[in-house]
């Protein structure tokens, strides 16, 4: 599939649909997410963010998508180990089902405890990039599925770790780990993922912060830390 022209997807998104999405208001607690293609360095940066936030006195929980609840983990296995090609719309609803359970069973309850930070390893922007663009469903379909509570809850800040395809493939070669349902796809798929994440950044510019992930780990974390500090400071002032 050759879909790299993101303009096809930008035109029809209506403003009312975008207005359905908002961050939850819990005093002293934050909801963060990390996004990126394979090899972007999400896991490492999430651990650094957790350590930093704990040093600042926060209680930090890392949640992964899909998964994070007993039902979600079953869905994770069902999707990522699938030997048959699923319909893109089936994928979208499976990811959304796992997400809805994680939001109600864990995220909303934990955010109620002041001083909590929930960090998601992937969230709605992965659905936009993977199912919306790379699997061709269209962004409006993904936003539509997520426009109802609790799926309309957005992180206070999302870090999109942006890397080049050369960096991604180079890091994948070094890791040499077995490939799951999505990882074994070709370069076109990855190009479409990048288009998808970039489209998300354009749709949600206030929420998503683009971080250059091609740099060394420490340098990348410095950029993330600066954004985290700003977010916490702004909230304190409110």
Let me know: does 72 contact 102? Beta carbons within 8 Å: yes
Does 38 engage in binding with ligand TYD (CB under 6 A)? yes
The phi and psi torsions of 32 (rounded to 5 degrees) equal -120, 155
Which of 122, 156, 157, 207 touches ligand TYD by CB under 6 A? 122
Which of 41, 66, 72, 213 touches ligand TYD by CB under 6 A? 66
Does 35 engage in binding with ligand TYD (CB under 6 A)? no
The phi and psi torsions of 57 (rounded to 5 degrees) equal 95, 5
Cα angle value 68/72/75 (rounded, 5°): 140
Does 146 engage in binding with ligand TYD (CB under 6 A)? no
Does 127 engage in binding with ligand TYD (CB under 6 A)? yes
Taking the complex as a whole, the smallest distance from the CB of residue 126 to ligand TYD amounts, in Å, to: 4
Q: Which among 137, 53, 61 has a CA at the least distance from the CA of 95?
A: 137
DSSP strand E in the chain: where?
A: 30-35, 59-64, 116-121, 157-162, 208-212
Tell me the window of 126-134, 145-153, 220-228, 230-238 that interacts with ligand TYD (CB under 6 A).
Answer: 126-134
Residues that bind ligand TYD (CB under 6 A): 38, 64-66, 80, 95, 121-122, 126-127, 130-131, 180, 182
């Amino acid at each position: 599939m050759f879909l790299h022209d993101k303009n096809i997807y930008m035109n029809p998104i209506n403003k009312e649909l975008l207005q359905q999405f908002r961050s939850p208001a819990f005093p002293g607690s934050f909801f963060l997410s990390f996004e990126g293609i394979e090899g972007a360095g999400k896991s490492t940066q999430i651990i650094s963010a957790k350590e930093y936030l704990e040093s600042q006195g926060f209680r930090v929980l890392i949640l992964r998508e899909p998964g994070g609840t007993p039902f979600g983990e079953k869905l994770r296995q069902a999707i990522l180990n699938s030997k048959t090609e699923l319909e893109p719309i089936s994928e979208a609803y499976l990811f959304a089902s796992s997400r809805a359970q994680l939001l109600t069973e864990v995220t909303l309850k934990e955010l109620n405890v002041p001083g909590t930070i929930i960090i998601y390893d992937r969230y709605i922007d992965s659905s936009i990039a993977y199912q919306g663009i790379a699997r061709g469903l269209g962004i409006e379909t993904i936003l539509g599925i997520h426009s109802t509570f609790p799926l309309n809850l957005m992180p206070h800040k999302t870090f999109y770790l942006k890397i080049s395809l050369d960096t991604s493939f180079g890091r994948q070669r070094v890791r040499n780990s077995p490939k799951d349902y999505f990882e074994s796809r070709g370069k076109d798929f990855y190009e479409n993922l990048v288009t998808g994440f970039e489209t998300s950044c354009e749709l949600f510019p206030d929420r998503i912060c683009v971080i250059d992930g091609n740099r060394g780990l420490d340098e990348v974390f410095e950029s993330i830390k600066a954004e985290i500090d700003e977010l916490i400071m702004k909230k304190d002032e409110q």
